[in-house]
Amino acid sequence: MSVLNELPTIAYLVSFISLGLISIVLSLLIIKTKTLVYNAFILAGIALSVSALIAMLGFQVIAAIQIIVYVGAAVLFFIISLSMIGESKAESVDPAIPAVIGVVSFVVFYLVIYTVSSSMPAQPSPTILNGSDLSSYLLNEFAFPLIIASCGIIIASAFSIYLSKSIKRGGRKQ
């Protein structure tokens, strides 16, 4: 049973709706923003909010894999591809906007952590999990999805390298 399922119903509902709204707002923002680097970071925010929703449904391992693959690998891959292709225009941002977003994010994150920790009947004891235990668990339980995800990442990497080189040569125009 998930620790998050122990939350009071109203706090669980508010958290779930808030994460859903964050996902929707970030999805709309990725359409509005024209700078690809900002789109990569917004995509990371979408993946984080969706993985939090998955964790709230009780699938914490899948949420962790979602964070590793979509936030870690996919966004990094996107940024590396952009650096290979190159982006010429830069967008200037008012310095107050990131500060306000940072403060609001901190307050929301603090409130979520405070709500979760105060609603737990007992503090969880620390568990020691090393890399070999985690990798053996993932390979034993999720071998086929990991193989499929690895193949997908390899194919996407090869295609993006091909695409970036063909754009540099002038072969493919959009």
Share of the chain above pLDDT 70, in %: 79
Question: Residue 46, class by beta-carbon neighbours within 10 Å (0-12 exposed, 13-18 middle, 19+ buried)?
Answer: buried
Token look-up 């982006």 returns: 87
Note the pLDDT tens digit of each residue in 123-144.
656 667 777 887 788 788 888 8
Contact between 26 and 46 (Cβ < 8 Å): yes
Residues 156, 82 within the same domain: no
Residues 115, 134 within the same domain: no
Residues 138, 81 within the same domain: no
Residues 11, 97 within the same domain: yes
Give the per-residue pLDDT at 67: 84
Domain boundary at 97, 124, 151, which?
124
Which tops the pLDDT comparison, 28 or 96? 28
- Which amino acid belongs to residue 126? P
Q: How far apart are CA 133 and CA 110, in angstroms?
A: 31
pLDDT exceeds cutoff 80 at 166 = no
The dihedrals phi and psi of 73, each to the nearest 5 degrees, come to -80, -50
Residues 158, 111 within the same domain: no
User: Domain holding 52: CATH number?
Assistant: 1.20.120.1200
Its domain, for residue 57, covers 3-124
Q: What is the overall mean pLDDT for the chain?
A: 77
Query: pLDDT-based confidence at 3, cuts 50/70/90?
Result: low
With CA atoms as reference, report the closest residue to 36 among 80, 87, 74, 96: 87
Residues 134, 113 within the same domain: no
Domain count, the chain: 2
pTM confidence score: 0.49
